[in-house]
């Protein structure tokens, strides 16, 4: 007979997402959730202590009188929780597409057998949305506002129209790269059906690809971009902001990276810190199970790259291919 804790753990197995605040490492978030889930499972009532039959002498009497043993049912204290300890000492909580320490937003986690689904989701063509906060006029060694300042420049000549033109140029270059890595004939029926379904994407591993770029706020020197991308890292996105500043004959730093969507998981689905409880995670896993299953079955990449290949592509990614020829730069600034 399964215990209440075991039944609860089965309902925990799956995928859910939380909101990771900026300045907190993802490992600390994962460990904190794992600890809270363990405490929640161990706080559930245990099964009644089973009884066992023992042959005991009757109470009282002197030691000289022969005693007749009688069968008595007594609790099996060896099964008591104080003796056996907590039923769950460790549960496996996995992390999907990670966020670095200074980024915030949606972080997808998997519990138990949900880690297999998490690995499948990791290798699908699902896109992710980010909000990037930028500031013109400064350049740092790591492209963020936390780095060492290496250059300052003017930005009075930058207009929203010029910024939109640079974003359109970058998006066009990435759309061309997407078709290149899709490994499918663009004139075929297969390509048409994939485009209609929204599943057109790189076949296997590829460099980071920006699916769309949009400026949602422009108040010089500050600006905000909305980005949809594949195979990215937060360092790469900061470098994109730096490259945008260079294209506009200025400099720029990234003041914040916030993930607003990871596949089917959005900010509305993300559990904030006070919701990291067993009951809330159960509800989130149940809610997200159907959509996660459909995404994994319809968007799996073929062939699936290994974790080593994925890490290698992240380490070698660069923005150099996004830079247009010199003549294009002159046209943009004219």
pLDDT tens-digit series, residues 135-144: 999 999 999 9
CA separation for the pair 101, 163 (Å, rounded): 28
Whether the pLDDT of residue 292 is over 60: the answer is yes
pLDDT digits 0-9 by tens, 146-178: 999 999 999 999 999 999 999 999 999 998 888
Percent of the chain surpassing pLDDT 90 = 55
pLDDT class of 179 with cuts at 50, 70, 90: confident
**Residues 94-104, mean pLDDT to the nearest whole number:** 95
* pLDDT score for 332: 41
In whole angstroms, give the CA distance from residue 21 to residue 18.
10
Tell me which residues are annotated as active site.
100
Q: Summarize the confidence of residues 112-126 as an average pLDDT.
A: 83
- Locate 76 and state its tokens: 């099996």
Reported as a pLDDT band with limits 50, 70 and 90, residue 295 is: low
Give pLDDT, residue 301: 42
Strand, helix or coil for residue 84: helix
CA angle 222, 223, 227 (to 5 degrees): 150
Closest CA relative to residue 213, chosen from 249, 264, 186, 247: 247
DSSP secondary structure string for all residues of 266-278 = ETTT-B-GGG-SH
* Residue 79 three-state SS: helix
What letter would DSSP give residue 306? P
pLDDT in tens, 200-243: 677 667 889 999 999 999 999 999 999 999 999 999 999 999 99
Angle at 22 between CA 141 and CA 309, to 5 degrees: 65
Tokens of 150: 């290496």
Q: How far from each other are the two terminal CA atoms of the chain, in whole angstroms?
A: 76
């Amino acid at each position: 007979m399964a215990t209440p804790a075991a039944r609860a753990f089965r309902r925990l197995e799956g995928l859910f997402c939380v909101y990771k605040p900026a300045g907190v490492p993802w490992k600390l978030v994962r460990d904190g959730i794992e600890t809270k889930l363990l405490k929640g499972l161990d706080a559930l009532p245990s099964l009644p202590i089973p009884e066992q039959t023992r042959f005991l002498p009757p109470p009282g009497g002197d030691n000289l009188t022969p005693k007749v043993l009688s069968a008595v049912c007594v609790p099996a204290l060896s099964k008591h929780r104080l003796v056996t300890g907590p039923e769950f000492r460790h549960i496996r909580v996995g992390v999907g597409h990670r966020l670095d320490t200074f980024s915030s937003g949606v972080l997808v986690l998997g519990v138990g057998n949900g880690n297999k689904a998490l690995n499948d989701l990791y290798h699908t063509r699902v896109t992710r949305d980010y909000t990037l906060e930028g500031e013109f006029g400064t350049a740092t060694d790591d492209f963020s506002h936390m780095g060492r300042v290496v250059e300052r420049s003017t930005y009075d000549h930058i207009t929203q129209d010029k910024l939109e033109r640079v974003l359109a140029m970058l998006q066009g270059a990435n759309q061309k790269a997407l078709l290149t890595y899709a490994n499918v004939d663009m004139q075929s029926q297969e390509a048409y059906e994939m485009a209609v379904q929204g599943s057109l994407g790189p076949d296997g591993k590829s460099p980071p690809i920006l699916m769309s770029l949009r400026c949602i706020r422009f108040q010089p020197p500050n600006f905000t971009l909305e980005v949809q991308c594949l195979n990215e890292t937060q360092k790469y996105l900061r470098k994109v902001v730096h490259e945008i500043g260079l294209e506009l004959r200025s400099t720029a730093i990234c003041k914040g990276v916030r993930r607003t969507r990871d596949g089917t998981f959005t900010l509305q689905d993300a559990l904030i810190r006070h919701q990291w409880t067993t009951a809330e995670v159960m509800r989130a896993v149940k809610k997200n199970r159907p959509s996660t299953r459909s995404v994994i079955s319809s968007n799996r990449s073929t062939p699936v790259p290994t974790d080593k290949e994925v890490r290698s592509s992240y380490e070698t990614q660069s923005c150099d291919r996004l830079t247009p020829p010199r003549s294009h730069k002159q046209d943009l600034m004219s």
